[in-house]
Amino acid sequence: MRKAMSAATGPELDRALAGLGWPELLAEWPDVAVPLVFRLLGETGAHAAVLDDVVRHAAGYPGPGPVPLPFTGEAWVVWDRDGKPGAAVDEELPLRSVATGTELPRQAVAAARRALGWWLLGTGHTMLTLARGHVLERTQFGRPLASFQAVRHRLAETLVALEGAQAALHNAEGEFGALLGKAAAGQAALTAARHCQQVLGGIGFTAEHDLHRHVRRTLVLDGLFGSTRELVREAGAHIRAAGSAPRIAQL
């Protein structure tokens, strides 16, 4: 699958994944297929309409037509399979705004949040890899950039955030677990975008470097099915109403 995602994206990747058995994997082993495929999408920077597949499968919706997906700020978008660039911050994604949408079943929302969490985790790790490679190669004042404590602290904080998000996703059972997993992954990816941009400096803003693609991808993915800020607020309201915080993982 990594080879397919490195060689294709959009509708071409949709066809390649279908040939590799993605629909069958999603139907029979979603707990294996979703983390594998979505994390690879993040790591390679490719995109496909697999989020729509996950929502349809979890909701039990038949038919090939796209499902309106909730976006931050009470907006709705559709992931078009024709591959035409949309108007989102990430211009590569074929997202199209629609006026309204239908509230999705809770199990479909939870499944989509888990999938997006793995996608965010993958793109966060790629940003960290790009930044790490840069500081190992470049020098400043006669010293490798990787030797500066401030640089090392930023990269270490990014790694800790990503590892924590991965642990949350591994334990993202149920609706509340999926909410926390997506929030943790979104926060980790945003942390990676901020710190890695600082470490890379001016080159990270250029079109020639890959970082900007992952930063824009993070901003869009974070907004789908609730932004990190919205989900944290929702989690707080849930805990206040329940009067206690549920144990997500048995440590």
pLDDT at 81: 86
* pLDDT < 50 positions in the chain: none
| Element at 97 (helix H, strand E) | strand 95-98
pLDDT at 145: 81
CB 86 within 8 A of CB 93: yes
pLDDT at 11: 92
CA dihedral sign, ordered 244, 245, 246, 251 = negative
- Give residue-wise pLDDT tens across range 145-198: 888 889 999 999 999 999 999 999 999 999 999 999 999 999 999 999 999 999
The strand ranges marked E within 141-193 are: 143-144
CB 217 within 8 A of CB 59: no
pLDDT at 208: 81
Place of tokens 């979890």: 58
pLDDT at 19: 94
pLDDT at 250: 65
Place of tokens 């039990």: 60
Whether the pTM exceeds 0.75: the reply is: yes
- Residues facing 95 on adjacent strands: 79
Which domains does the chain carry? 106-242 (1.20.140.10)
